Amino acid sequence: MTLMSVSDFPDVPEVEEDGDTLEANALKKARAVSEATGLPALADDTGLEVDALGGAPGVMSARYSGEPPDYERNNEKLLRELADVREVDRGARFRCVVALAVPGEKDRTVEGVTTGRILGSRRGDGGFGYDPLFLPDGATRTYAEMSADEKNTCSHRGRAVRAARKMVEEVLG
């Protein structure tokens, strides 16, 4: 099986991520690529869900502080909104949903989740997005303090990709 990127297909149109859920966005992107290429396609969407904020930023994680997406502004907004919330009450989870669209078959999704909490200040220089604020359960270092290999072992995206690999093997052989 040969894996290709959407960048290998320059005629595939850009897909607007306007779904109400991570699943909706992942499915929309996978379907669009599959329809445009006639090939099976994988796509994902990821979000941070903070309990004290009713699950926000969720599907709006990348654009939490507005357009254009800006990691620094997103982190600042998250810290402002949690300023009066005790750290023990800052439970959160990162979710990544991977969708598989195959022409003529039912679409499928899998997800990876990592639970943790949002710290009161940034720690670490690595990663991106909310990584300096997210401390996974059982860890002593934030995502931003971990190497890429360490993060992939415990991250929501790593878990989703491992589940997606199994899904692809079951569906496509």
Q: Band the pLDDT of 75: cuts 50, 70, 90.
A: very high
State pLDDT tens for residues 12-21: 989 999 999 9
- Give 62's pLDDT tier (boundaries 50, 70, 90): very high
- Across the range 93-109, mean pLDDT stands at 97
Tell me the pLDDT of the chain averaged across its residues.
96
pLDDT 10s digits, 151-167: 999 999 999 999 999 99
Q: What is the pLDDT of residue 20?
A: 97
Omega within 30 of 0 (cis) for the link into 57: yes
Phi first, then psi, for residue 94 (nearest 5°) are: -95, 135
The pLDDT of residue 3 = 85
Q: pLDDT higher for 172 or 136?
A: 136
Predicted local confidence at residue 1, as pLDDT: 74
pTM of the model: 0.93
Answer yes or no: are the C-beta atoms of 95 and 115 closer than 8 Å.
no
Position 169 scores a pLDDT of 94
Instruction: Tell me what the mean pLDDT of segment 124-129 comes to.
Output: 94
Mean pLDDT of the 53-73 span: 96
What number does CATH give the domain 11-172?
A: 3.90.950.10
pLDDT band at 87 (very low <50, low <70, confident <90, very high): confident
**Burial class of residue 119, CB neighbours in 10 A (0-12, 13-18, 19+):** middle
User: Using one digit for the tens of pLDDT, what is the confidence trace for 111-121?
Assistant: 999 999 999 99
Positions annotated as catalytic residues are 45
Domain ranges of the chain: 11-172
pLDDT at 173 over 90: no
